[in-house]
Each structure stands twice: as C-alpha cells, then as structure tokens.
Amino acid sequence: MNMFDLFSALVLGLVEGLTEFLPISSTGHLIVLGEAIGFTGPPGKAFEIAIQLGAILAVMWLYRHLLVDVLLGMWRPGTRERHYATNIILAFLPAAVIGVALHSTITRLLFSPLVVAIALIVGGIVIIVIERRQRVATITSVPEIGPLAAVIIGFGQALAMIPGTSRSGATIITALLLGVERRTAAEFSFLLAIPTMLAATVLSLWKARAELDLSGIGQIGVGFVVAFLVALVTVRAVLAVIGRIGYTPFGWYRIALGAVILIWLAVR
C-alpha cells in the first residue's frame, strides 16, 4: 500500500463524514470523487461499508442517551419514547422494503456520474423552491410527527436510492413539506439514518460476503476513523446553525456541483 492509497482513503472518509448527513448526497460525492481520482479500495466493498459504518456510529454516539431512553421506554404506551420509536420504525419500513427489492437493480443501472449530476441539480432546485415558499412550522419535535407523516417521510427517503438524491435531503425536504420545523426535520433525519444505514450495511455485507477482503486494512481503518470524527463535527454543526441559515445554501451548492460534473463529463 502506498501513500496515495492512504491519502485517498482519508479524503473519501472525510467526504463521507461531511456529506452523509447534509442534503447534498454522500453517495453522489463518493461515486464522482472515486472515479475522478481513480480510487481502488479493498475488494468486496469493505472500504465503502467501513466508512458508512463510521458515519452512522458517530450519530449513535451523539444520540446515545436518547437511544437508551427510547429503548427502555418504548414499551410503555403513550410515552414520548413510544412515539419516538413508532415514528422511526414507520419511516424506516418503506425504504427497507423497496431497498431489498430494488437495491441491486438501481446499483447496476443508475450508479454513474451523469445520474448523480442530474439528481443533484433537480434536488437543488426542489430545495430552493420549498425553502422560498411561505410556511409555518406546525411540528416542532420528533414525537409530534405522527404515524402518517412518518410513513410519508419514509417514502421520501426511498427516493434516495437514486444516487445524487441524498437520503438526508429527501427525508428533510419531505418533512418540511409536512410542516416539520427545520431543526426537528434534521434531527429526525439523523435518527432515521441509524436503522436505515445499519440495515444497508448488513445488506451490503451479505451480498458481498463471498468477496469481502480485509487486505487493505490500512485504508479501511483510515477511512473509518476519519468518517467517524468528521460526522461527529458535521452533525453538531448542522443542529447548531440550520435553524438560522436554512437549506437554501445546500440547494445552490447542489446545482453548482451538478453543473461542474456535467462540464467534467463533457470535456474529459
């Protein structure tokens, strides 16, 4: 293993940790960046699985006290913890069912820089339009979201199987359309990421079980640690400022990045 391999792992881990919980598509960034720098990770998707796991463990660490409270209190009817658990489970189910059915097909047909660029631009326009419309938030905490809204947000999350769409972007925008306050929408997206990404990791491990190879343990370790640390900082920062700045800047970023990718594809 040379220094370029380790540096590439560091960069990709940083990108995963930074983009996984922002509405700008981590998968899209990794597809384009990996192709641009010619990154070749360990066989069997071990690197991809490791950095995704690093990012989700960061969220689990940040919400560890809440997660323990929910696990202990979800069995008591009518409690705040029961509402937390119900909303997360209901929002998780659509993506779980659709993901199992279509994951391989979508990966085979749509994982390309061109699809990423188009999805980035379309998603950016949608974010800007939604943020500019007049609205009054009626839901200010996760337990208030309710079963029907949770299911609708879950179907919104399912759209994120298209690379470039963004899992967090799809869930946050759907929540905003339903009257969820910005910070609450972000928090619900982060919490929903836990079962969704853990399930995706298990599915990826199962599908790639015959090819898994830990020969590039240095790359895997660097990517995992960097993704974990950067995700910790990113999630905290988003929760601290999103109520003030909104999501419009991310919409413009998506449009600009999508345009750059289209230009790159045209001239390379």
Centre a 10 Å sphere on the Cβ of residue 181 and count the other Cβ atoms it contains.
Answer: 19
Beta bridge partners of 139: 180
pLDDT tens across 145-195, in order?
A: 999 999 999 999 988 888 888 889 899 999 999 999 999 999 999 999 999
Give per-residue pLDDT as tens, 200-257: 888 777 776 666 666 678 888 999 999 999 999 999 999 888 888 889 999 999 999 9
Q: Which residues contact 234 (CB under 8 A, 6 or more apart)?
A: 17, 18, 20, 21, 22
**In this model, does residue 56 exceed pLDDT 90?**
yes
Domain ranges for the chain:
3-267
Instruction: Choose among 200, 252, 220, 268: nearest CA to 47.
Output: 220
**pLDDT confidence of residue 255:** 96
Helix, strand counts (H, E) of the chain: 11, 0
* DSSP-assigned states of every residue in 158-181: HGGGSTTS-HHHHHHHHHHHTTB-
Nearest to 247 by CA among 143, 125, 93, 151: 125
The token pair at 77 is 């009817």
Tokens of 140: 């200010």
* Cα–Cα distance for residue pair 190/242, rounded to 1 Å: 13
This prediction's pTM: 0.87
For the chain, the average pLDDT equals: 87
